[in-house]
Structure 1
Amino acid sequence: MEHIALYRAWRPQSFHDMVGQQHIIQTLQNAIREQRVSHAYLFSGPRGTGKTSAAKVLAKAVNCERSEGAEPCNECPSCLRITAGNVMDVQEIDAASNRGVEEIRDLRDKVKYAPTEVRRKVYIIDEVHMLTTEAFNALLKTLEEPPPHVMFILATTEPHKLPATIISRCQRFDFRRVSLEEQTAHLTAICQKEGISADSDALQYIARLSDGGMRDALSILDQISSFTDGQVTYQQVLGMTGGIPSEQFARLATAILEGDMGLLLELVEQLMHEGKSADKCLENLLYYFRDLLMIKMVPGADQLTDRVLNPADFRDMAAAFTRDRLFLIVETLTRYLGEMKYATHPQTLFEVALMKLCSLQQQEGSPHGTAPQAASSHVVGGNAAAVDSGELEHLKRQIAALEKKLEQAMQSGALSGGGRGEQGNQGRQPAQAPAPRVSSPSKLPPQLDKFIAGKDSPDFAEVYKKWSVVLQGVKEEKVTVHAWFVDGEPVAVMEDAVLVAFKNTIHRDTTEKPANRQVIENVFTARLGKPYRLVTMMLRDWNEAAMKTAAQTSTEELQLEHEHETGDTRTEPWIDEAIQLFGEDLVVIKE
C-alpha cells in the first residue's frame, strides 16, 4: 500500500480536528449553526497553521447533506467527494500559478452559473497575495456582490500585500501559531494511533523546530520515524535535524563566563565537525543568552519561551551573569549575526564573536562581571583629580602668556611685514590681523602630514575601490548613520586609519559621535578586512593642506638652487622667532 505523508493523512476533516485555532473554529461554527455565513472570508497567518484545511472544512460544512449542526458529517456523497477533490463546484485555485487578469476574468464569468453538484459554489484562492493589481481590480466587484450561491475563501501568509479594498470586502480571520503544548499533545496522540514510540523530549523538540506550524512538525516526525523504524528519541531528533542540545550552549556559556578562549575554540571546532553551520550556531547562541536574560529579569519567564526545557539549569546559569553583562553579550551577538550573512568565512567570524565575548569579560575583571577597575579608580580618584586640576591651571597660564605675546606682536606690526631691511619696511602696508582660518588647528587631525604622504598609497587605492561596499554596509547596519556618512569621501590612508573628508560641518560632527563612529569602524573591519580607525576633517581644509604641501615642496627645491644668496636676502631673525613662537599656521607675512 502506498505510504501517505503524515501531514496529509492527519489533515483535519472537521472543525473538531483542528489544533490551536479555537477562536476561529467557534466563530465559524456559530455562523453555520445560525445560517449567517458570509459570502467572502480571508484566512491569514503563518504557514502550516490550518488555513487551507479550515477552508475545505467550511466548504464541506455549507454543502453537507446530513449535518444538522455545525460540523460536516464526512459520510454523505458531498462530503466524501469534496474531500477527494472531485466536485467541480468547489475549486481550490493556486494564485501563485494563476495570478493574471485573464484567469480572474474567467473565474468571474463562471461565477454567475448555478452549481450543478452541491448547494453552494466555493472558490478557495490560496496565496491570494500573489495576484497582480489588475487581477485584484477584476475581482473587486464580484467579491463584493457575488451571486447568493457563491462563497469566496481567500488564504494568504502575507495579508499586508493585499489591497485594502479586498480586505474590507471579507471577514478576516488571523490564524495564530500553534502553541508548544498543543503541538506536543497532538503529536503524542498521532504517535499513539500510528504505533510510533516517541520520547516526550523528542516530541517537544520537534514542536520547537516547527516554529508553530503543525504541518512542519508532522513532516519532521514522519521523516524521523522512517529513519528510526518507529523509535523516536531526543538524540536521534538532534542528529537528524542538525540541532544543538542546550548542554552544548551551556558549555559555551561557561567558557565565556570563565574567559577560557582555548575551550571555546575547541567547542566551536567540535560543532563544525558535527556538521553544524556557523550562522545557525550563532543564532541559537543568541537565543540562549536571550532566554538567560529573560529568566534573570522576569519572574516566571521560562513560560515566555518555548526553547527552555529545563528551567532550573537556565536559572543557575542566569545567576552567574550580571544583567549588564547579558545585555552586552546579546548586543554583541546581534551585531555579529548581522555581519554573518556577508562573511566569506562564517566559522572565523563565529570564533571572533566568541573571543570578543571573552575579551569583554576580561575587561570587566572577573568571571562574575565585577569591575575591580572601578574600585581602583575610586582609590586614586583624589590624586587624579588633583593632577588634572594642576595641569588645567598650568595650561591656562600658558594660554594667557601666548595671548599677551600675540597682542604685543600685533601692536608692533611684527607679523605684518616680510620685506628685507628699512627700504622694505617703508613700502609695507600698516599691520593687519591674520585672515581667520576656516578650521582651528584642533579640528585638524593629528599627523596630517603623514596622511598627505599616504594619499597615493596602495592601501588607499584598495580602500577607495571598496568604498561603495563600505557605504552599503553602513546603510544596512544603520541607515541614519549612512545619511550623514555619505557626505564624506576617503582622501588618504595611514597604517590603521582612514581619513574621510566632509563637505558639511554638521555631517562631520554627527559622524564623529562615539556611537556612530563605532558603527562605521565595525563596517570597516567587516568590509575592508582590516580594523581601521575613522579620522575626519573638512574637505576644504584637506585641499588647502595638500596644496600648501605641494607649494612647500616646490619652494624647498627652489631654495636648494639658490644657496649662494647673501645674508641681506635671508629671512629676518624676528620672523623666525615669530614662527617658532606661534607656528607657521598663525603667522602671515605680507610684502
Structure 2
Amino acid sequence: MSHIALYRAWRPQTFRDMVGQQHIIQTLQNAIREQRVSHAYLFNGPRGTGKTTTAKVFAKAVNCEQGPAVEPCNECEACRGITIGSIMDVIEIDAASNRGIDEIRDIRDKVRYAPTDVRYKVYIIDEVHMLTAEAFNALLKTLEEPPGHVIFILATTEPHKLPATIISRCQRFDFRQVSFEEQTKRLKEICEEEGIEAAEDALFYIARLSEGGMRDAISLLEQVSAFSAGRITLESAVDVTGGMAADQFYELAEAINNRNAAVMMPLVEGLMQAGKSADKCLENLIYYFRDLLVLKLASSEGVVTERIVDHERFRDMADAYSSDRLFSMIDTLNKYQVELKHASQPQTMLEVALMKLCTMQEESADGRSTVVASSSGSAPEVQKLMQQVEALERKLEQALKNGVPAGTSDSAGAGAAPKSAVRGPFGGTGKMRPKVKLEPYLSAVNSGDTNHARMNWGEVLQRVKEEKVTLHAWLKDGELAAVVDGNLLLAFKNDIHRETTEKPAHREIIERIAGDVLGKSLQLVTVMLKDWQSAIDGSVKTTGEPLELVPEDTEQPKVAREPEWVEEAVKMFGQDLVVIEDKS
C-alpha cells in the first residue's frame, strides 16, 4: 500500500477519529448542537496536526442530511460527496498558489449565490497567510458582511502574518502538537489493522521524529514499512530516516569526552559512507546531548528522554560530562547547525563542529578559561607553547596592574613586540595609532568649518548608509568633534566602533562622501569620547592612549564652557540644529 493509500485509509472521517485535538472538537460539536455555527473560523497550528481534516469533517457535519449533526454519518450523499470532493459547494483553496486579489474577488462574487447541493457553502482556505495584502482587503469585505449560507474556514501555520482585522472576525482555534503517547497509540492501531509487525521501540522512534505531526508519523511508518518488508525494527527505522544508532552516539560522545579527534574523524567518515546526512547527524547529536543534560539535572521519573535505550550505559556517559560543558556543547552545535544549512561542504562543517567540541575551553577552578589539549596532540611542543602563553598572560596582567598601557612596551629587549605589530582590540596585529594633538581641534570647536560640517553631518550619515549600511551602524556612534586644516575629528564612545571605522576600506568611503558633501578634501581622525571631553574640561586623563595637549599656563587660547542655556538648548534640539552666533 502506498503512502497516499495508507494516509487516506487512516484519515479521520468523523470527529471521533481525530487525535490530540479533543478541546477543539468538543467546542465545534457544542456549536453545532446549539445551532450557533459561526460564519468564519481560523484554524492555527503546526503542520500535520489536522487543521484541514477537521475543516472537512466540520463541513460534513453541518451539511449531513441527518443533521446538522455532531458526527457526520458518512453514508448520505452529502457526506460521501464531500469526502470524495464532488460537492461543488465545499471548496478547498490553496492560498500558496492562489494568493492574488483576482481569486478572492471570484470568491466574493460567488458567495452571494445560495448553495445547490447542501445547506452551507464552505470555503476552506489553506495556508491563508500566503495571501497578498490586496487579497486580504478583498477577503475582509466578505468577512464583514457574509451571507447566512456561507462558512469560511481559514487554516494557517503562521497566524502572526495575518492582519488583525482578519483575525478579529474569526473564531480562532489553536491546534497543538499530538502528544507522544497519542501518536504511538495510533501507529499501533494502524499496524494492527494493516497487518504490519512493528517493534515498540521502532514506533517510539517514528513518533519522536514526527515532532507532533500525525501526518508525518503515518508517512514515516509507510516509508519504513516498505523498506522493512512488513517487519519494522528500530535498526530499519534508523537506516531509512538517516538517523544514528545508539552505539554510534556512544562512540562519538566517548571520543569527544576523551578529546580524541583522531578517533572521531573515522567515525564521521563512516557515517557519511553509510548515507547519513550531515545536518541530520548534527540534529541527532543535539538531541543526544540534550538527553544527557536532562538525565544529569532532572533525572526524575516522567522526564522525556526517549532516545535512551541502554539506561545504565547512558547514565555512565552523563556522569562523564559536567553540566557546564554540556551547555557549551549544545550551544556550539546549535550555531554550527545554522551555518550547515548554507554550507557547500556539509561533511566538513560537521567535522569542524565535532573538532570544536574536542578542543573547547573549560573554566578552571580560578575562573580562567584554559584550553585542554586532545590526547592526540599532547606533544612536548604543544605543552611548551601553552606554557609560553601562560607566561605572557601573567606578564600582561602584571603590566596592567602597574599602570603600563596595554599594547606598549617599556623596552626593546628580546621578546618585546615591535610597535608596528602591536595587538589590536580584535586580537589581530595592526599599526599603533599615532598620537593625536587635540589642541588645534579644541580651538576649532565652534569654527565656521566645524559648524558647517555639523549642519551637513546628517547627509553624510545618510549617504554612508545608502552605500554600506553596516558601516553606518558603526559610524553613527561617532560624534563630530571639530574640523581643522582638512582633518575631520570624530569622538567615539566605543573602541570597537572606532576600530571598525578606521579600517582602510571604511575610511575611504567616509572621507570620499564627507568630501563630496562638505565641498573639501578631508582626512578622518578619531579619538575616544571620554578623552575628548576630558580635554574640553581641561583635565586630561591618558588612560586610553597618550594625548599631546598644550599646558594651561601657555598663551594658547582656551576653550570656555558654553552658557547653561546653550547646553540646555543642545540637549533639547540636538547639536546639529543649534547654531551660536556672536552679534556683539
Is the shorter-chain TM-score for this pair beyond 0.5, marking a shared fold?
A: yes
Amino acid in structure 2 at the alignment position of 1:61: A
The equivalent of 1:49 in structure 2 is 49
Check whether the contact 1:295–1:301 (CA below 8 A) recurs between aligned residues: no
Report matched runs for 1:302-321 at 5 Å. Answer: 303-304=303-304, 307-308=307-308, 312-321=312-321
Distance change in 2, residues 1:105/1:69 (3 Å): closer
The equivalent of 1:205 in structure 2 is 205
- With 183-192 and 321-330 compared, the bigger mean Cα shift is at 321-330
1:230-289, CA deviations, whole angstroms, 9 ceiling, x for partnerless residues? 221111111212111233112211111222222211211111111112232222212211
CA distance in 1, matches of 2:549, 2:24: 83
- With 300-309 and 198-207 compared, the bigger mean Cα shift is at 300-309
The equivalent of 2:525 in structure 1 is 540
The equivalent of 2:298 in structure 1 is 298
CA distance in 2, matches of 1:394, 1:184: 64
The equivalent of 1:449 in structure 2 is 420
Secondary structure at 2:327's aligned position in 1? helix
Residue identity (%): 60
In the TM superposition, residue 5 of structure 1 has moved relative to its aligned partner by: 2.4
Check whether the contact 2:243–2:284 (CA below 8 A) recurs between aligned residues: no
1:538-571, CA deviations, whole angstroms, 9 ceiling, x for partnerless residues? 97379xxxxxxxxxxxxxxxxxxxxxxxxxxxxx
In the TM superposition, residue 176 of structure 1 has moved relative to its aligned partner by: 1.0
In the TM superposition, residue 67 of structure 1 has moved relative to its aligned partner by: 4.4
Distance change in 2, residues 1:321/1:114 (3 Å): same
The TM-score, its normalising length taken from structure 1, stands at 0.64
CA distance in 2, matches of 1:309, 1:109: 60
Among 469, 492, 500, the alignment partner of 1:505 is: 492
In the TM superposition, residue 346 of structure 1 has moved relative to its aligned partner by: 2.9
In the TM superposition, residue 510 of structure 1 has moved relative to its aligned partner by: 6.6
CA distance in 2, matches of 1:55, 1:393: 70
The equivalent of 1:15 in structure 2 is 15
1:172-198, CA deviations, whole angstroms, 9 ceiling, x for partnerless residues? 111111111111110110111111111
1:288-316, CA deviations, whole angstroms, 9 ceiling, x for partnerless residues? 11221222122438634554455554333
Check whether the contact 1:5–1:219 (CA below 8 A) recurs between aligned residues: no
CA distance in 2, matches of 1:237, 1:226: 11
Distance change in 2, residues 1:215/1:253 (3 Å): same
Q: Does 1:135 align with 2:150?
A: no
The equivalent of 1:156 in structure 2 is 156
Check whether the contact 1:42–1:171 (CA below 8 A) recurs between aligned residues: yes
Check whether the contact 1:39–1:152 (CA below 8 A) recurs between aligned residues: yes
Check whether the contact 1:295–1:302 (CA below 8 A) recurs between aligned residues: no
Report matched runs for 1:49-198 at 5 Å. Answer: 49-67=49-67, 69-198=69-198
The equivalent of 2:273 in structure 1 is 273
CA distance in 2, matches of 1:135, 1:392: 68
Amino acid in structure 1 at the alignment position of 2:493: I
Amino acid in structure 1 at the alignment position of 2:151: M
Secondary structure at 2:93's aligned position in 1? strand
Distance change in 2, residues 1:273/1:137 (3 Å): same
Check whether the contact 1:302–1:308 (CA below 8 A) recurs between aligned residues: no
Check whether the contact 1:49–1:212 (CA below 8 A) recurs between aligned residues: yes
- With 192-201 and 309-318 compared, the bigger mean Cα shift is at 309-318
Secondary structure at 1:123's aligned position in 2? strand
Q: Does 1:234 align with 2:243?
A: no
Amino acid in structure 2 at the alignment position of 1:317: M
In the TM superposition, residue 226 of structure 1 has moved relative to its aligned partner by: 2.2
The equivalent of 1:263 in structure 2 is 263
In the TM superposition, residue 146 of structure 1 has moved relative to its aligned partner by: 1.1
1:36-89, CA deviations, whole angstroms, 9 ceiling, x for partnerless residues? 111110111111110110000000000111247511111111111111111111
The equivalent of 2:514 in structure 1 is none
Distance change in 2, residues 1:233/1:447 (3 Å): same
Secondary structure at 1:91's aligned position in 2? strand
In the TM superposition, residue 142 of structure 1 has moved relative to its aligned partner by: 1.6
Distance change in 2, residues 1:126/1:343 (3 Å): closer
Check whether the contact 2:52–2:126 (CA below 8 A) recurs between aligned residues: yes
In the TM superposition, residue 20 of structure 1 has moved relative to its aligned partner by: 0.8
Secondary structure at 2:359's aligned position in 1? helix
- With 191-200 and 215-224 compared, the bigger mean Cα shift is at 215-224
Amino acid in structure 2 at the alignment position of 1:319: D
Check whether the contact 1:205–1:234 (CA below 8 A) recurs between aligned residues: yes
CA distance in 1, matches of 2:275, 2:299: 36
Distance change in 2, residues 1:306/1:36 (3 Å): farther
Distance change in 2, residues 1:208/1:482 (3 Å): farther
Check whether the contact 1:484–1:508 (CA below 8 A) recurs between aligned residues: no
CA distance in 1, matches of 2:44, 2:182: 20
Q: Which has the larger helix fraction? A: 1
In the TM superposition, residue 149 of structure 1 has moved relative to its aligned partner by: 1.2
Amino acid in structure 2 at the alignment position of 1:506: K
Check whether the contact 2:408–2:422 (CA below 8 A) recurs between aligned residues: no
Structure (1 or 2) with the larger CA radius of gyration: 1
Distance change in 2, residues 1:254/1:71 (3 Å): same
The equivalent of 1:473 in structure 2 is none
Check whether the contact 2:490–2:526 (CA below 8 A) recurs between aligned residues: no
CA distance in 1, matches of 2:171, 2:298: 38
Report matched runs for 1:468-487 at 5 Å. Answer: 483-484=473-474
CA distance in 2, matches of 1:292, 1:94: 43
CA distance in 2, matches of 1:287, 1:110: 51
CA distance in 2, matches of 1:327, 1:218: 34
Report matched runs for 1:415-494 at 5 Å. Answer: 442=408, 447-449=418-420, 483-484=473-474
1:415-450, CA deviations, whole angstroms, 9 ceiling, x for partnerless residues? xxxxxxxxxxxxxxxxxxxxxxxx998599963435
Amino acid in structure 1 at the alignment position of 2:420: D
Distance change in 2, residues 1:268/1:53 (3 Å): same
- With 255-264 and 83-92 compared, the bigger mean Cα shift is at 255-264
CA distance in 2, matches of 1:67, 1:229: 44
RMSD across aligned positions (CA):
4.1
1:93-145, CA deviations, whole angstroms, 9 ceiling, x for partnerless residues? 12222222122112112111111111111111111111111111111122133
Check whether the contact 2:477–2:492 (CA below 8 A) recurs between aligned residues: no
Q: Paired residues, what number? A: 426
CA distance in 2, matches of 1:347, 1:394: 47
CA distance in 2, matches of 1:45, 1:288: 27
The equivalent of 1:372 in structure 2 is none
CA distance in 2, matches of 1:331, 1:512: 29
Secondary structure at 1:259's aligned position in 2? coil
The TM-score, its normalising length taken from structure 2, stands at 0.65
In the TM superposition, residue 483 of structure 1 has moved relative to its aligned partner by: 4.5
Amino acid in structure 2 at the alignment position of 1:178: V
Distance change in 2, residues 1:227/1:342 (3 Å): closer
CA distance in 2, matches of 1:53, 1:393: 69
Q: Which runs of 5+ in 2 are unaligned?
A: 363-369, 375-390, 411-415, 424-429, 432-468, 479-488, 501-522, 528-545, 551-584
Distance change in 2, residues 1:182/1:353 (3 Å): same
In the TM superposition, residue 12 of structure 1 has moved relative to its aligned partner by: 0.5
Amino acid in structure 2 at the alignment position of 1:78: A
CA distance in 1, matches of 2:33, 2:219: 34
Amino acid in structure 2 at the alignment position of 1:152: F
